[in-house]
Amino acid sequence: MRSQSEGRPSEARSRLLTTATRLFYAEGIHAVGIDRIVAEAQVTRATLYRHFPGKEDLVLAYLSEVDRAMRSQADEAIAAGLPAPDTVRALSRSIAQGIHSEGFRGCAFLNAAAEYPAPESPVRQAVLAHRQWFLDTVTELLARIRQSDAEPAARHFVMMRDGAMAAGCLFDPALVCETFLRGVESLLQVYAASDTEPAGA
């Protein structure tokens, strides 16, 4: 009996988080109230507050879920064991696939940052932590190609990715993705070529 009673709240938490994730991403965090989430998840307010003491806790759980999905996406590309340039290309293609997906509304983290501008906000801190992980991941991949200037090149990659994510829900996603992937290819070519230039060239 105890395991069943413990299973029900877990199921309710899952419904709450799934509902909040869908609504927050599609409509914006501030635009979606607790009452709407409770109604669509078919739980009581008491159940929601048992799992998430406040809306901010639910927002942080939502971002944690998105972060986990993106880390899994990156891990999958890295686990394929391809040469570093091809791993960067695989990661870029997975980003492009996301932009092509139905209901794409841009980057969940950039969207959240726009709604939580205060530097001390836990939500903004979660956004910054995710972005630091992504920058570190790309930096590590590029460092396998060439040790010097890996971080500046990674920042270039992240900025191209941010631009593609922003443009992908405003313009033709096929054109946006084509432009993004072409930009990644150019970055890789220039970055790799710089390591082969003779000293003093």
Query: What type of residue sits at position 178?
Result: E
Position 55 confidence tier, pLDDT thresholds 50, 70, 90: very high
C-beta of residue 174 within 8 angstroms of C-beta of residue 100:
yes
Which tokens is 15 given? 């419904």
Output the average pLDDT for the chain: 91
Cα–Cα distances in Å, from 34 out to 9, 49, 167, 173? 18, 10, 30, 32
DSSP conformation class of 79: H
In Å, the largest CA–CA distance within the chain is 76
**Which pLDDT belongs to residue 2?**
40
- pLDDT surpasses 70 at 8: no
Per-residue pLDDT reduced to its tens digit, 146-197: 988 999 999 999 999 999 999 999 999 999 999 999 999 999 999 988 655 4
- Counting residues of the chain whose pLDDT is more than 70, the rounded percentage is 92
Stretch 110-134: mean pLDDT: 97
- pLDDT surpasses 50 at 7: no
- pLDDT surpasses 60 at 9: no
Per-residue pLDDT reduced to its tens digit, 57-77: 999 999 999 999 999 999 999
C-beta of residue 155 within 8 angstroms of C-beta of residue 135:
yes
The Cα–Cα gap between 170 and 164 comes to 10
The Cα–Cα gap between 21 and 58 comes to 9
74 Cβ contact partners less than 8 Å away, ≥ 6 residues apart: 91, 134, 137
Stretch 91-99: mean pLDDT: 96
**Which pLDDT belongs to residue 147?**
82
Alpha-helix runs per DSSP H in the chain:
2-27, 34-41, 45-51, 55-79, 84-100, 108-115, 122-143, 150-167, 173-194
**Which pLDDT belongs to residue 85?**
95
Residue by residue, DSSP assigns 87-144 as HHHHHHHHHHHHHHSTT--S-HHHHHHHH---TT-HHHHHHHHHHHHHHHHHHHHHHT
Give me the phi and psi of 26, to 5 degrees please.
Answer: -75, -35
Per-residue pLDDT reduced to its tens digit, 24-46: 999 999 999 999 999 999 999 99
- pLDDT surpasses 70 at 94: yes
Q: Is this structure's pTM higher than 0.85?
A: yes
**Which pLDDT belongs to residue 1?**
36
Closest CA to 66 of 34, 32, 22, 28: 22
Stretch 2-28: mean pLDDT: 80
- pLDDT surpasses 70 at 198: no
